[in-house]
Each structure stands twice: as C-alpha cells, then as structure tokens.
Structure 1
Amino acid sequence: MLFGHGDDFYNSQNEVKINFSSNVWHGANLEKLKDHLNEQFDKLTRYPEPDAGTLKRLLARRYEMKENNIVVTNGSITAFYLLAQAWKGGKSMIAIPSFSEYEDACRLHGHEISFFPTSDDLSELSLEGQDFCWICNPNNPDGKLIHRTELLALIAANRQTTFIIDQAYVAFTTEDMLKPSDVKNHPNLILVQSISKAYNIPGLRIGYLIASPEKTEEINKYIIPWSVNAIAIEASKYILIHPAQFTLPIRKWQRETAELIYQLNKLDGLEVQPTSTTFFLVRLKKGTAAALKQYLWENHGILIRDASNFRGLDETYIRVSTQTTAENQVLVDAVKEWLAQQ
C-alpha cells in the first residue's frame, strides 16, 4: 500500500501545526545526531556497506547474539516484504486489525491468507496447517498487546508455525515484551524491530529482524546490495553508542496519554478504546473519520489518522498518537467544536 498510511504530512495543502497521525516519539532531541551526521557527510560520496555490517555487529553485541541472527533492512516494512518473498506461496494467518503491509506483502508473493481478530483468546487459536502467523505487538492501530508469557506459550505450542512478531512499538509500553534472546529458544520466532519510531527518524528508514541463522540465510538470498543507505547506518550506530541522549520518557508520555484519553472520553459523541501504549483508537458515535480529519486539517492545522482502511475497522475510527499537554488540549477543543456541529 503506497498510500493510506498515517503520516500523510507530505500530502498536505495546508500547514500542519500538530501531527497526531504518526506513531513516533515526538520529543526526541536530535541536535547532537544532526551534528554527527553533518560530520559524516562525506560518506555520501562512497557506496555504503552492502549489508550494513558495522551496524549489524553493534546490534549483535547489544543483544548478545551472533551476527548471523540479524538482518538489517531499509525500515521494518522492507523486512515484511523480504519474509513474504523468501517463503513465497506460504500459508499466512494475520491478526487484525493491524498494519496493512503484512497482507499486502503476502498477497504480492502469493500467500494463502486468513485472519483472526486480535481480541480472540490465543489459547484457542488453531494454527494447524499455517506456515506463518503475523502479529504486531504492541498492536497498531489500537495499542493493545499480548504479554510475553502468553505469546511464548503460543509459540511453543505451535512449533510448526513461524511467528513473525512486529515489535516496532516495543519502546512505547512498560509491559514485558519478547526479547531478542527468545529467538535462541524458539527457532520458529522472527522478531522485527524498528529503530526509527522511538528516535523520531522515520524518514531514514531503518529497521532489522532477528531470527535463527537458518532463517536469516534464506532471507539474505533476497537482500538487495546497498539497500540501507550510509546516513541511516551512521545515524543508527550513533544512537546505539549514545543511548543516554535518546532516553524516551515513557512513563511521562503514558501519563499524558491517560489524561488525553480522559479528556476525550468526557466528550459526548465518541468513545476511546483501551490501550497499553501512547497511541489509541477512537470510535466516533456520529460523523465519519474522513469528515473529522478534513475539518481538523482545514480549520486547525491538526492531522489525525483516519483508521477506516484498517481491515476490521470502519469509517467511524480514528487513531491518535499523544503529543504535548498543550497540543493535546488543542485537539480536545477542536474535536469538541466539530462534534457540536454534527
């Protein structure tokens, strides 16, 4: 899906003053990273490493894994397409509502696809005959999550199925999530992680997957040389070497999220869905997501995510990612204004 994702900032004909549509940490201080990348500018005159090898080694040391457990990709989305391609024609079961690119990647490479609601009891989920199970955890768009023990039990009980777990939003919760070391004990587990979300650098497109050496060997057959650019590699290495500069204040952000949800729930005409992260779904009881998005965009310079194109949702759902306290209040007041006109 080339279009229809959350952050269509690029498509705006009006000034976007506040962006609630993109699930990234909005408060990252990138000044020192900017200075570092300016110093690395000359790297643009040379080809990058064919496989982002220096970054792969840093990740391996960080997680106490071997290098052949890791594949660095041009954003986590590239990992999904590589996985679908490496095992083209497989049978895939996908949790919904969730990121549409799992389905798009599988369809492109001839997978037989079925779906199950994220609200299902996982202990009763039947995966017989399924080659792959795709789960976003924490889940996009609703912010729900499956606890580590429950997920590991599901993986252990279905060894014939490979679980592709998208942990792009792992930094956006304080709950216990899967760890890279879990791959050592569960060869049917593939973890996909994003570097861009928690550090507010989505434009650099950088991510990676962690899997058994047997699986990464198969995936590497489809990697395009130089698919990760030199600046993305250098930015990621800098972040890994200087983690203290990029500490995400998750508990503060969660408190701001709770307050925003409280204020929105006070409005007559909508209902906020429970979340375990800093983004969440809102169901409108009147009007449509498209109409609200257009109103906020044109009248207040506010961008939200129309979530109607997520499989399993309809035209009444929007997704919101919490911003600053002051910006959150601007959103609440603007939504209240729109609801009064419905």
Structure 2
Amino acid sequence: MLFGHGDDYFNSQTEVKINFSSNVWHGANLEKLKEHLNTQFDKLSRYPEPDAATLKRLLARRHEVNEENVVVTNGSVSAFYLIAQAWRGASSLIAVPSFSEYEDACCLHEHKVSFFSTGDDLQEVSFEGQDFCWICNPNNPDGKMIHRSELLALIAANRNTVFVVDQAYVAFTTEDLLKPADVKNNPNLIIIQSISKAYNIPGLRIGYLIAQPDITERINKYLIPWSINAFAIEASKYILIHPAQFTLPVRKWQRETAEFIYQLNKLDGIEVLPTASTFFLVRLKTGVAADLKNWLLSTYGILIRDASNFRGLDETYFRISTQTADENRQFTEALAEWLSLQK
C-alpha cells in the first residue's frame, strides 16, 4: 500500500487552506445530500445489504446493462484488488505512469507484472501472453486520454487479454470514452467507475465495475459481505435518483483549466504537460517537487501532489487539479514566488 496518494490532507500537520492535490469536483453542493443522509441515520443500527443490491439495480438501469454485469465495490480501489485476487498469479501489463494501486494489487496477488509507457503507440505494444492490461482513462496523473474508438479497436484485436479500464475520471472530460454497455460486445473488457470523484464524496468510498457475467461471477466469489456501508449506499442512490442536483459543469471547469494552464505557462522554470482533463502534471526545471510542496503548505496553506512516486516520473513532477479562479490565481502567484527564490 502506498501512503502519499493525491489527497494527504489527513497527514498534514499544517492547516490546508487550498487543496490542489485531490482530483475531485470541488464545487459540489452537498446540502441536499446531507439533509437526506440525516433522514437515513437509523439505518446505521442495521446491517446494510450484503451486496448493495438496490444500488446495483439503479446502476444497471442507468447504464443499460443487466444487474449481473455490475459489482459494487468499496471504492474503485477495491475493484482492482478483487480482480487481481480472482485471477491470482496471472500476467498483467500496466500502462505507466499511472495509479500505483494497479501494480500494488497485482503484486500482492503474485501477478507477473510488466509495463508500457502511456506515451507509446498502442499499435506497437505487444499483448501476447498478457492475461490483463490495466489502463486509466483519462489517465492519472497526467490527464491523457485514449479515444473510445481506438480503445475498442485495441480490445477487439486482443481477445486473449482482458482490458481493465479505470474510468474514475470519466466525468472530467468531454471526450468520447468507453460506455458501460460496451461490455456487451466485448467479453475481455472490465470498466471501473467511481461515484465519489464527480460528487465530492471520496470519504464514502464507493465505486463499481461492469463486465460480462462470467467475469462478475468470478469476482463476486471474493466480495466480502457488507463491504459497502449503509451511508455509501444511500448517498449513491440519492445521487442517481436526483442527477439534476449534482450536475458537474465540466465545460466550464475545462475552460478554467485552460486559463489556469495559460497563466502558468507564463512562468519561467516550469513545463505544464498537456491534458484532456481538469488535472495535469507540471515539471519543475529547477528544484524538486517535495521542497515546493513543503514550502507552499507552510507558507500559504496550499497542498499539491508530489508526483515523484509515480512509476516513470522523477522528483521534478507534481500534479494539481483546477480549483476556483481566485484559488488558481493564488497558486500561480505563490509558485512564481517560489521559483524566484530558486534563482
């Protein structure tokens, strides 16, 4: 297990005033959800559904698949570990840099792990002998995206490999990504999605995977009963039933991201990597990300993600997620100040 993921707010000894480190939608209005959960408080005195059946039913209806296609998990990370466990000892190919829990889950369950770069031409990547291929799309940490048509062609051309496609950030882009119903025509596809990211409820740990029944049946054998708590189930059902209350203005957020990147690009001493999402990587041309992180936190209460522990990145990379226009301005000014101190 890697301590030092995006939001290490819990580990900070200094007050965090602005959090750029966590890839969640910062503008969600949770008042109605809070009111609803208050009415559900008595459910805490009873066991929740063993397999979150009512939530599974809603997810199946929303995505136009059967309930047998859906497994609800305690956050998307649990889905990675369930897959790795269900096929213990398999061979896994992982795109990097990307979320470390793919590799951690595979290593825990004795997969033979190999890697390819997210910058590689997918047509040149060999999938021979690979039981699984793990891809994050849009990719964490750099926000890169593989178009749906390209992924579907890749999946169709490599039927002996199961593609585990993590779409935790599907709501953070307007590009065309895989649709859960794509599993119907692709027996070698597992799509993983998160409910918490787009609705700013990561503390509830709620995610799900969608695949053909032979895959979900095998995974369900390893699913721990009552692994989804009652509040997570009720919050997710409320969000699915009242989608209008939780609309994420992704185009506006992307425009703010473009403006943020434009302002950052005016600074000497950094390189901002292109993104298809609302979070992105920045490379320092001088200094290291750990020092910048500590200085920002102690001086201004600003928290960023030191990205040096992503496989394939070094100590000069950090990741940030676009916040409000005023907070973005504060960050840009603070970064400019730090860069001036490095001269």
Q: What range is the shorter-chain TM-score in?
A: over 0.9
Counterpart for residue 246 of structure 2: 246
Task: Quote how far apart the aligned CAs of 1:63 are.
Answer: 1.3
Counterpart for residue 155 of structure 1: 155
Counterpart for residue 331 of structure 1: 331
Counterpart for residue 82 of structure 2: 82
Counterpart for residue 271 of structure 2: 271
Aligned-partner SS, 1:164: strand
Aligned-partner SS, 2:156: helix
Distance, in Å, in 2 between the alignment partners of 1:311 and 1:13 is: 27
Counterpart for residue 218 of structure 1: 218
Deviation by residue 1:4-47 (Cα, 9 ceiling, x = unmatched)? 10101011111100000000000000000000000000000000
Counterpart for residue 167 of structure 1: 167
Q: Pairwise mapping of residues 156-235 of structure 1 onto structure 2 (< 5 A)?
A: 156-235=156-235
Distance, in Å, in 2 between the alignment partners of 1:311 and 1:138 is: 17
TM-score, length of structure 2 as denominator length: 0.99
Aligned-partner SS, 2:71: strand
Q: Is the 8 A contact 2:2 2:100 kept in 1?
A: no
Report the residue type matching 1:112 in the other structure. Answer: K
Deviation by residue 1:227-264 (Cα, 9 ceiling, x = unmatched)? 00000000000000000000000011001100110111
Distance, in Å, in 1 between the alignment partners of 2:60 and 2:170 is: 18
Aligned residues: 342
Distance, in Å, in 2 between the alignment partners of 1:280 and 1:268 is: 18
Distance, in Å, in 2 between the alignment partners of 1:278 and 1:157 is: 31
Task: Quote how far apart the aligned CAs of 1:123 are.
Answer: 1.2
Counterpart for residue 12 of structure 1: 12
Counterpart for residue 48 of structure 1: 48
- The percentage of aligned residue pairs carrying the same residue is 78
Distance, in Å, in 1 between the alignment partners of 2:116 and 2:250 is: 30
Distance, in Å, in 1 between the alignment partners of 2:120 and 2:151 is: 13
Segments of 5+ residues of structure 1 without an aligned counterpart are: none
Distance, in Å, in 2 between the alignment partners of 1:289 and 1:319 is: 9
Aligned-partner SS, 1:159: coil
Report the residue type matching 1:313 in the other structure. Answer: L
Q: Is the 8 A contact 2:132 2:163 kept in 1?
A: yes
Counterpart for residue 25 of structure 2: 25
Counterpart for residue 119 of structure 1: 119
Matched, 1:298 2:304: no
**Closer, same or farther: CA 212–172 of 1 in aligned 2, 3 Å:** same
Counterpart for residue 132 of structure 2: 132
Distance, in Å, in 2 between the alignment partners of 1:304 and 1:226 is: 34
Report the residue type matching 2:52 in the other structure. Answer: A
Aligned-partner SS, 1:192: strand
Task: Quote how far apart the aligned CAs of 1:278 are.
Answer: 0.2
After TM superposition, where is structure 1 displaced by more than 4 Å over at least 4 residues in a row?
A: none
Segments of 5+ residues of structure 2 without an aligned counterpart are: none
Report the residue type matching 1:215 in the other structure. Answer: I
TM-score, length of structure 1 as denominator length: 1.00
Counterpart for residue 315 of structure 1: 315
Report the residue type matching 1:124 in the other structure. Answer: E
Counterpart for residue 341 of structure 1: 341
C-alpha RMSD of matched pairs (Å): 0.5
Counterpart for residue 288 of structure 1: 288
Distance, in Å, in 1 between the alignment partners of 2:34 and 2:275 is: 33
Distance, in Å, in 1 between the alignment partners of 2:255 and 2:176 is: 18
